[in-house]
Chain A
Amino acid sequence: MGHQLIKMKLQKIKIASVIIGVLVPICLVYISTNQFNNQAPKCSIKTITVDELLKSFIRNETIATQQYLNKVIQVRGKISSIGLLKDNQVEIALKGTRYKSILCTLNPEQLFGIINSIEINSEVLIEGKCIGFLNDVYLKKCTVFKSVKQNC
């Protein structure tokens, strides 16, 4: 009798482990992809195109720095490259002129699942903190939104 009870308990544990083992990864993937696809860009944040942002820095770097440094902005443009920096940060470049672009390092929280969800040449809206201009404009802690349209 006791032996049968132990057997039944063991079976229940086995079934529970299988359910947890299957469900947990499915839930994680669902949460991560859903977060990327459904998160909406904030309407209160200034939105600008790649061209407009680059032009303002090229026209007058001092004024543009005062205007954008440390500000969270949304930039609309086409992805020209996706690369991995040596410190494992993912850097996305938005296409600008031949030598100038917008370089965005991604928010680590958004990394999971993102690489498979975006493509070169796709139109995106990127939200990030502007940290300055060298030859390119740099944004950090970026979040990528696939849909360029905002419901504001």
Chain B
Amino acid sequence: MKNILFLLLIFCSINASSQSRYITKNGHIQFFSEAPLENIDANNHQVAGILDLTKNEVAISLLIKSFKFDKSLMEEHFNENYLESDKFPKASFSGSFQSKEVINPNKNGSYPVTVDGKLTLHGVTKAIQTTGILTVAKNQVIAKTKFQISIKDYNIKIPTLVIKNIAEIVDVTVELPFTLETK
């Protein structure tokens, strides 16, 4: 009887852990630069990510060339001159998060979280901390956060000629609609 209970417990824990991994391939990340001469808005709707609610971990990655700009010339400069996407085709983030409450994937609700992790962009990895919201709703978890990055920190060089066109601090908005990973 004890053995059966033990096996049942193991089965339940395996099942619980398999129920806590969420994935996305269509996350959205926006870069917004507000500068005296112009505002630049770039959007990437092909962000991939994994969210593990058992380990409270998150990892996301994206291709620089998936960013879309309003002006194709801006997109060209972004890829060729600033982000050097041929040399550094990807950006990634991996980190862990803390929540005051236990995040229950079976209970709908919003959970404020603090995320600590490492952001790799343009071949430079930096530690960042941000706050965000995890919204749980029916096999889906939507992660939202906003933070700022200094382009200098990531060794992104802007020529003096266009210094008034690009902000030194860029706003980053993230929205990741994670769905439960099916086995």
Within B22-76, which residues are at the interface with A (CB < 8 Å)? 25-26, 28, 43, 45-46, 48, 61-63, 65-66, 68
Q: Taking the nearest CB of chain A, how far is it from the CB of B46, in angstroms?
A: 7
Known A-B contacts A131-B65, A132-B63, A134-B63; the reply to A69 vs B43 at CB < 8 A is no
Residue B144 interfacial (CB < 8 Å): no
Contact residues of B: prevailing secondary structure: strand
A26 within 8 A of B: no
Count class of interface residues, chain B: 10 to 19
Name the distance in Å between B143's Cβ and chain A's nearest Cβ.
16
Chain A stretch 131-150: residues in CB contact (< 8 A) with chain B: 131-132, 134-136, 138, 140
A134–B86 touching, CB < 8 Å: no
A1 beta carbon closer than 8 Å to chain B: no
Question: A134 touching B28 by the CB < 8 A rule?
Answer: no
Docked-complex contact B25 and A103, CB < 8 angstroms? yes
* B61 in complex: contacting residue of A105, A134, A140, CB < 8 Å: A134
Q: Is the CB of A140 within 8 A of B65?
A: yes
| Residues in chain B near residue A131, CB distance under 8 A | 63, 65-66, 89
Interface residues of B (CB under 8 A from A): 25-26, 28, 43, 45-46, 48, 61-63, 65-66, 68, 86, 89-90
Is A16 in contact with chain B by the CB < 8 A criterion? Answer: no
Interface residues on A, range: 10 to 19
B60 → chain A closest CB, angstroms: 9
A85 to B29, CA, bound (A): 13
Chain B residues contacting A136 (CB-CB under 8 Å) are: 25, 48
Which B residues touch A87, using CB under 8 A?
43, 45, 68
